[in-house]
Amino acid sequence: MNSAPSQPDEALAQIPFPANCNIERVFAQVTDSFAMVTPQKSENPTIAYLRRAIDTEKRIERKLELSRRLKDLAMRATSSLSAIRDGGTNSRSKVEDGIVALLDLAEEISAEANCMVADLRNIGVIIKQIGNHKHRAVLEWRYLNGLDWPDIAIGLKIEEDTAKKLHGKALLEFAKMKENFSS
């Protein structure tokens, strides 16, 4: 895995902008690279919903970092443009249109991150309403903390098969809570 860039210039250099920077294509690449977890073919819809919480914080951080990089790039381009602009024309150039598009894209990415934060918060609120503490713990540990079945079983001091059975019951309770939450 690549380490985080230490300088803004290094960070900006890592953004894969094509030479003829088509903003729609860049947005498609960004969207694809940060796609949400998609449900598997016959997956329980409640599990699919909860799976979205796994690694959401990391995806949010990546989106916000990308938004920051795009804004930084736009600001650098703006200052460069200001330095070379002759001041005689009031019409916007293609470069200025590109800067505006970068800023719009950055705002759109930030808005997506905000939606993800709200979704994660909703999942947490619903889980906290579950009455049975073991059911609540299974869902929190599995979907909010990303623990695997052996760790959940150890945490609850039960067998792994029992943890999976509790999970099934917890999913039913979560689905009912989610339905009430949505209404």
In a domain, 123, yes or no: no
- 83 versus 23: which is more confidently predicted? 83
Q: Indicate whether 37 and 105 sit together in one domain.
A: yes
User: Residue 159 has what DSSP assignment?
Assistant: -
* Exposure letters 138-151 (e unless 16+ CB within 10 A, then b): bbbbbbbeebeeee
Q: Are residues 104 and 168 in the same domain?
A: no
Instruction: Give the pLDDT confidence score for residue 9 in this predicted structure.
Output: 37
Total-model pTM: 0.58
Instruction: Please report, for the domain that includes residue 152, its CATH number.
Output: 1.10.10.10
Same domain, 69 and 15: yes
* 126 or 96, which is more confident: 126
Residues 32 and 71 in one domain: yes
Burial 28-40 (b: 16+ CB within 10 A, else e): eebeeebeeeeee
Would you tell me how many other CB atoms lie within 10 Å of the CB of residue 64?
18
Count of the separate structural domains present in the chain: 2
pLDDT of residue 89: 57
Same domain, 37 and 97: yes
| 44 & 93 share domain | yes
102 and 174 share one domain = no
Neighbouring residues of 128: CB distance < 8 A, sequence distance ≥ 6 = 136
Please indicate, yes or no, whether residues 48 and 99 belong to a single structural domain of this protein. Answer: yes
Same domain? For 22 and 101 the reply is yes
Domain boundary among 87, 117, 147: 117
Instruction: State pLDDT tens for residues 64-76.
Output: 888 888 888 888 8
Residue whose tokens read 């690549």: 2
Q: How confident is the model at residue 12 (pLDDT cuts 50, 70, 90)?
A: very low
CA distance 65 to 13: 14
Assess if residue 96 is contained within a domain. Answer: yes
DSSP letter for each residue of 119-142: HHHHHHHHHHT-S-HHHHHHHIII
Domain that holds residue 169: 129-183
Does 95 share its domain with 160?
A: no
- The answer to whether residues 105 and 139 belong to one domain is no
Q: Alpha-carbon Rg of the chain, whole angstroms? A: 22
What is the predicted pLDDT for the residue at 82? 63
Tens-place pLDDT, residues 164-182: 999 999 999 999 988 887 6
Statement to judge: residues 10 and 72 lie in one domain? yes
Token couple for 135:
């059911």
Cβ 141 vs Cβ 155: under 8 Å? yes
Residue 122 lies in a domain: no
